[in-house]
């Protein structure tokens, strides 16, 4: 006798096999999404840290820094440009400013301030931040160390800036 159809045991076996495959696919998908989110957050933190570095470097490069001062608060320095050298018609001319140009860099609690404007860190919180300045005869070395923190993880960074001292 030729019977067509599926027995209950075969049906249960197929359902069990299908459930295992579906569970494996769901597990792999969840792992991929979790890793993707971690990589995205790390990339965002790196992008924000690089933006901080590049912003400070650009601001420092725009001044011919002659001297520095410490602020009243900790983790704060003012870079001062009293004059700069210009080249006009092949001659080097020293131009003295009536009002010195300044750049104030300050870390206040969980904020980075550049000329008293808060640097936006978006979805990250600035933590464990410090500024250190080392003055040498011909240069200043500014070291900025900080961490960017989100709900899941903390990303530490440290940048050093070498600034020629114009005398």
Q: Encode burial over 1-16: b for 16+ CB neighbours within 10 A, e otherwise.
A: eeeeeeeeeeeeeeee
Digit-coded pLDDT (tens) for 34-47: 899 889 999 999 99
Classify 26 as helix, strand or coil.
helix
Give the count of beta carbons closer than 10 Å to the beta carbon of residue 78.
16
Read off the pLDDT of residues 115-166 as tens digits, 9 standing for 90 and up. 989 988 888 999 999 999 999 999 999 999 999 998 889 999 999 999 998 8
Residues in the chain: 167
| Residue-level pLDDT at 1 | 57
CA distance linking residue 121 with residue 112, whole number of Å: 9
Note the pTM of the prediction, 2 decimals: 0.81
Per-residue pLDDT at 89 exceeds 70: yes
Among 125, 102, 106, 109, which residue's Cα sits nearest to residue 117? Answer: 106
The radius of gyration of the chain from alpha carbons, rounded to an integer in Å, stands at 29
Q: Does residue 3 carry a pLDDT above 80? A: no
Percent of the chain with pLDDT over 70: 99
DSSP state of 72: S
DSSP secondary structure code for residue 119 in this structure:
P
Res. 2: pLDDT tops 70: no
Q: How far apart are CA 151 and CA 149, in angstroms?
A: 7
Residue boundaries of the structural domains of the chain: 11-164
CA distance 127 to 118: 14
- The C-alpha atoms of residue 46 and residue 124 are separated, in whole angstroms, by 11
Contacts of 34 (CB under 8 A, 6+ apart): none
Identify the pLDDT of residue 6. 81
The encoded tokens of residue 139 equal 């240069």
The secondary structure of residue 35, as a DSSP letter, is: H
pLDDT of residue 53 exceeding 70, the answer is: yes
> What mean pLDDT is reported for the chain?
90
């Amino acid at each position: 006798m030729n019977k067509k159809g599926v027995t209950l045991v075969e049906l249960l076996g197929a359902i069990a096999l299908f459930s295992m495959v579906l569970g494996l696919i769901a597990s792999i998908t969840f792992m991929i999404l979790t890793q993707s989110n971690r990589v995205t957050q790390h990339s965002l933190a790196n992008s924000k840290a690089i933006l901080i570095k590049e912003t400070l470097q650009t601001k420092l490069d725009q001044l011919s820094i002659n001297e520095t001062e410490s602020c009243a608060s900790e983790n704060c320095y003012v870079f001062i440009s009293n004059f700069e050298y210009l080249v006009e018609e092949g001659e080097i001319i020293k131009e003295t400013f009536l009002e010195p140009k300044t750049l104030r860099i300050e870390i206040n609690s969980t904020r980075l301030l550049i000329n008293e404007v808060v640097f936006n860190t978006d979805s990250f919180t600035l933590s464990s931040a410090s500024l250190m300045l080392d003055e040498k005869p011909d240069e200043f070395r500014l070291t900025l160390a900080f961490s960017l923190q989100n709900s899941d993880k903390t990303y530490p960074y440290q940048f050093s800036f070498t600034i020629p001292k114009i005398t």
